[in-house]
Amino acid sequence: MSKPQRMPISALKVAERAGVSRSAVSRTFTEGASVSPATRLKVLKAAEELGYHVNHLARGLIRHQSGIVCLIVADINTPHQSFFLEATTRHLQATGKVVMVLNTSGEQHTIENALRQTLNYRADATVVMSGRPSRSLVETCIHNGQRVITINRDDLPEGTEQIIVDNDEASKEAFLMLERAGCKNLAVISSTAGSPSILARENFFMEAAVKAGVPARLCRVGPTNYQTGITAARQILAGSNRPDGVFCVTDLLALGFMDAAKRDFSLHIPQDLCIIGFDDIQQASWQAYELTSFRQPLEEIAQTIATSLQDNTSLPPQLKFPLQTVWRRSVRP
Amino acid sequence: MSKPQRMPISALKVAERAGVSRSAVSRTFTEGASVSPATRLKVLKAAEELGYHVNHLARGLIRHQSGIVCLIVADINTPHQSFFLEATTRHLQATGKVVMVLNTSGEQHTIENALRQTLNYRADATVVMSGRPSRSLVETCIHNGQRVITINRDDLPEGTEQIIVDNDEASKEAFLMLERAGCKNLAVISSTAGSPSILARENFFMEAAVKAGVPARLCRVGPTNYQTGITAARQILAGSNRPDGVFCVTDLLALGFMDAAKRDFSLHIPQDLCIIGFDDIQQASWQAYELTSFRQPLEEIAQTIATSLQDNTSLPPQLKFPLQTVWRRSVRP
DNA sequence: CTGAAAGCGCTTACAG
DNA sequence: CTGAAAGCGCTTACAG
């Protein structure tokens, strides 16, 4: 007790103290193994006294199931991503998994490294939220018996389980909302990121607009963040042909756009300008904004992933979730 | 090639294909082991062809170093926490570690479970950002040769390496700033969370106020979030004895307070009311707020943790980082 | 129900 | 530089 032991204690030590075989201690810690109540008690007592904890590294080694799921994600510090991360870790933990987060900058080599780690640690599954992993590496994951689940990207190889959100539907709906509000001159504020989701939102909105014969322009002046929203507003609102209805491909863009519209151009929302965002991040509901937006069903997605991993039953090749439109005050009713 | 292999391939297979011993393949993948260029090349080639990846579970088992560091954190979806998470994962990965995030709700049993996982996976270290882990479990971690690093909590057992931020200094400075701005009637908006950081901020501000003889009251009407800021404002600004200077223990509280002050009470900031936040989250700099605040040196903290883990040299028992005051427009100069 | 034994995939002295 | 062997801490048929 007085001299701290440097090494974790092993099942063998517990067995010795409890006066049973190492098999017995193994059994008392594995779900549904057959141990008599008496020996189980002895083992539990000894384990408690010694501070024993099953070594999941060793267990994973022989069971070929590490219990680890890797999350490959970029921009963790962004509201939407951090919400998803929170939901995913919570649900996965509830089913006994543990999540390893691999932070990628979106550059090719960092995401390759992330994929490599997922392989190194023999993760049961990897969830890809960012980046464009090389086809070959993803294939290696799958060949290794690992499941790979992707969120909002449809550009990945066969064998991958894809979860997507109905960007199509929502973007058309956004157009309709603006049209109903009487907007005659539209703009979609996007970013230069070019991810599948972003592209889909741009495309479906623009398409709906041309189909209806309403003029709409597309604006991409930087990465997907608040500042780009500001820059876009300054650029697009300064011209003579000012839009009166704006669809932002992301709430962060919308919030920046609103701030610039109000402060730099003294525009009133929704009277002078209607605006719609996407993702329904927390800040969208703040009193300074009250942005109408589309909510991604993050809880449901995380839940789906967790139970699918728990039951070890694979998802359909492509699973599409609906978005929920959240009406607030940035669009005239 | 056509029939996908379910199991990851092992070093033995690589050795066979390369025509060397398994030791040789092990050596080519361990830093600084002695292998001739020739055999290394053969091994690398075979590994590439087979899609081999060292099993870190097995490696961790024999090296007694998993390469994993656990982050125990609550409220991941909060701006401040998600920034810290981003910085930490990034820096740790850069030094070859991988981070496992354990999402705790702040309830006792969830944090105990998290601590247990950190033990199960034989993490090299655990970084505690939330909750009040039981003394005994933390001691078990340390007994097991694991390092435990805490952020902004000074209430943990011996052997723990504590990183804190100079709440003392900053809170006093906050008072001084408000005093210099001519505020005569102060309030500190806090929460019911009662974490060491929050308590420290309250206390040092209040202390400075009474010492200077300026009236100040303390308001705690809910958890540490935006909504509580709103509630606090509605409560405190409605009375006859309205404060003209407010210190919010967190930016999120401040942002909620500002929104309510502006919208529900038509107050102008900083003319009618000066307000100071804490943490300097991204939203504090948004045009709708321009909140003056204190920045936590998250990058430096993450960096410090990473290099300390890399060099395997322990931190001083208590390491204190200064805060940087970020002037914006919510306080009269 | 229980224990002795084999084996998971690796690394590291130990000889050569 | 290289290989055969021992061992990390576990689990799981296999007998009893």
State the pLDDT at residue A135: 80
Assess contact for A259 and A230: CB atoms under 8 A.
Answer: yes
Give the containing element (helix H, strand E) for B138. Answer: helix B135-143
Q: Which of B170, B195, B193 is nearest to B297 (CA)?
A: B170
Burial class from Cβ neighbours inside 10 Å (0-12, 13-18, 19+) for residue B38 reads: exposed
State whether the beta carbon of A38 lies below 7 angstroms from any atom of strand D: no
Interface of B with A in 165-204 (CB under 8 A): none
State whether the beta carbon of B120 lies below 7 angstroms from any atom of strand D: no
Assess contact for B331 and B181: CB atoms under 8 A.
Answer: yes
Nearest to B89 among A58, A76, A259 (CB): A76
CA of A23 to C1' of D15 (A): 14
CA of A54 to C1' of C3 (A): 20
Assess contact for A210 and A239: CB atoms under 8 A.
Answer: no
How far apart are alpha carbons B270 and B258 in whole angstroms?
Answer: 10
DSSP lists the bridge partners of residue B101 as A99, B71
Provide the pLDDT confidence category of residue A11 given band limits of 50, 70 and 90. Answer: very high
pLDDT higher at A234 or A110: A234
Provide the pLDDT confidence category of residue A294 given band limits of 50, 70 and 90. Answer: very high
Task: Using DSSP, state whether B85 is helix, strand or coil.
Answer: helix
DSSP A223-281: SSSHHHHHHHHHHHTTSSS--SEEEESSHHHHHHHHHHHHHHH---TTTT-EEE-SB--
State the pLDDT at residue A90: 94
Nearest to A226 among B8, B81, B286 (CB): B286
User: Cα separations (Å) of A144 from A157, A209, B134, B180?
Assistant: 15, 46, 39, 65
Average pLDDT over residues A76-100: 95
- Chain centre to alpha carbon of residue B150: 9
Does residue A215 have a cis bond before it (omega within 30 degrees)?
A: no
Any residues with CB less than 8 A from the CB of A23 and at least 6 apart, and which? none
Q: Find tokens 């999350």 and name the residue.
A: A71
Q: Which of A153, A165, A129 is nearest to A321 (CA)?
A: A165
| Residues of chain B neighbouring A78 (CB-CB closer than 8 A) | 82
Q: Is the pLDDT of residue A3 over 80?
A: no
What type of residue sits at position B253? L
Assess contact for A80 and A281: CB atoms under 8 A.
Answer: yes
Nearest to A103 among B60, B90, B287 (CB): B90
> What is the bridge-based pairing of β-strands A318-321 and A274-276?
unpaired
State the pLDDT at residue B41: 95
Hey, what CATH topology would domain A11-54 get? 434 Repressor (Amino-terminal Domain) (1.10.260)
Q: Is the pLDDT of residue A243 over 80?
A: yes
Any residues with CB less than 8 A from the CB of A42 and at least 6 apart, and which? A18, A19, A20
Condensed to tens digits (0 to 9), the pLDDT of residues A247-264 reads 999 999 999 999 999 999
Condensed to tens digits (0 to 9), the pLDDT of residues B9-61 reads 999 999 999 999 999 999 999 988 889 999 999 999 999 999 999 999 999 99
State whether the beta carbon of A22 lies below 7 angstroms from any atom of strand D: yes
CATH fold match for the domains B66-165+298-323 and B167-297: yes
Q: Is the pLDDT of residue B6 over 50?
A: yes
Top CATH class of A167-296 equals: alpha beta
State the pLDDT at residue B2: 32
Positions 15-54 in B, CB within 7 angstroms of strand C: 22-23, 26-27, 29-30, 33, 52, 54
Condensed to tens digits (0 to 9), the pLDDT of residues B106-157 reads 777 888 888 899 999 999 999 998 877 777 888 888 888 899 999 998 777 7
State the pLDDT at residue A2: 32
Task: Using DSSP, state whether A76 is helix, strand or coil.
Answer: coil
State the pLDDT at residue A38: 93
Nearest to A57 among B66, B100, B103 (CB): B66
Average pLDDT over residues B94-105: 93
Domain map (residue ranges) of chain A? 11-54, 65-165+298-321, 167-296
Interface of B with A in 264-323 (CB under 8 A): 282-283, 286-289
State whether the beta carbon of A63 lies below 7 angstroms from any atom of strand D: yes
Average pLDDT over residues B255-279: 97
Between 3.40.50.2300, 3.20.20.140, 3.20.20.70, 3.40.50.10800, what CATH number should domain B66-165+298-323 receive? 3.40.50.2300
Burial class from Cβ neighbours inside 10 Å (0-12, 13-18, 19+) for residue B317 reads: exposed
Superfamily for domain range B167-297: Response regulator (3.40.50.2300)
Mean pLDDT score of chain B, rounded to an integer? 93
Q: Find tokens 């002078």 and name the residue.
A: A272
State the pLDDT at residue B1: 34
State the pLDDT at residue B110: 84
User: Cα separations (Å) of B136 from A51, B130, B132, B140?
Assistant: 10, 17, 11, 6
How far apart are alpha carbons A257 and A275 in whole angstroms?
Answer: 9
Mean pLDDT score of chain A, rounded to an integer? 93
Interface of A with B in 104-123 (CB under 8 A): 105, 113, 116-117, 119-122
Assess contact for B293 and B275: CB atoms under 8 A.
Answer: no
How far apart are alpha carbons B121 and A98 in whole angstroms?
Answer: 10
State the pLDDT at residue A157: 75
State the pLDDT at residue B56: 97
Q: Which ranges constitute the DSSP H helices of chain A?
A: 11-18, 22-28, 37-50, 56-63, 79-94, 108-120, 135-143, 167-180, 196-212, 226-236, 251-265, 298-311
State whether the beta carbon of A22 lies below 7 angstroms from any atom of strand C: yes
Token readout for A180 is 């109903």
Among A274-278, A288-292, A323-327, B312-316, which stretch is predicted with the lowest mean pLDDT?
B312-316
Provide the pLDDT confidence category of residue A4 given band limits of 50, 70 and 90. Answer: very low
| Chain A contact for B134 (CB, 8 A cutoff) | no
Give percent of chain B above pLDDT 90. 82
Give the containing element (helix H, strand E) for B104. Answer: none
Q: Is the pLDDT of residue A29 over 70?
A: yes
Question: Searching chain A, which residue's CA lies closest to the CA of residue B59?
Answer: A57
Between 3.10.310.10, 3.20.20.105, 3.40.50.2300, 3.40.50.12160, what CATH number should domain A65-165+298-321 receive? 3.40.50.2300
Any residues with CB less than 8 A from the CB of B158 and at least 6 apart, and which? none
Task: Name the residue closest to D7, CA to C1'.
Answer: B62
pLDDT higher at B153 or A309: A309
Q: Is the pLDDT of residue A108 over 80?
A: no
Interface of A with B in 57-96 (CB under 8 A): 57-58, 60-61, 64, 66, 68, 75-79, 81-83, 85-87, 89-90, 93
CA angle, A315 then A316 then A317, to 5°: 110
The answer to whether the CB atoms of A282 and B57 lie below 8 A apart is: no
| Residues of chain B neighbouring A282 (CB-CB closer than 8 A) | 77, 226
Condensed to tens digits (0 to 9), the pLDDT of residues A194-232 reads 889 999 999 999 999 999 999 999 999 999 999 999 999
State the pLDDT at residue A297: 96
Token readout for A123 is 């993760």
Q: Find tokens 């011209």 and name the residue.
A: A239
Radius of gyration, CA atoms only, chain B: 26
Condensed to tens digits (0 to 9), the pLDDT of residues B306-319 reads 999 999 999 998 99
| Residues of chain A neighbouring B269 (CB-CB closer than 8 A) | none
Nearest to A120 among B53, B113, B259 (CB): B53
User: Cα separations (Å) of A203 from A151, A190, A320?
Assistant: 19, 11, 18
Give percent of chain B above pLDDT 70. 98
Q: Is the pLDDT of residue B4 over 60?
A: no
DSSP B279-310: B--GGGGSTTT--BEEE--HHHHHHHHHHHHH
State whether the beta carbon of B7 lies below 7 angstroms from any atom of strand C: yes
What type of residue sits at position A41? L
State the pLDDT at residue B133: 76
State the pLDDT at residue B202: 97
Assess contact for B283 and B229: CB atoms under 8 A.
Answer: no
Average pLDDT over residues A269-295: 97
CA of A268 to C1' of C13 (A): 77
Among A19-23, A52-56, B138-142, B207-211, which stretch is predicted with the lowest mean pLDDT?
B138-142
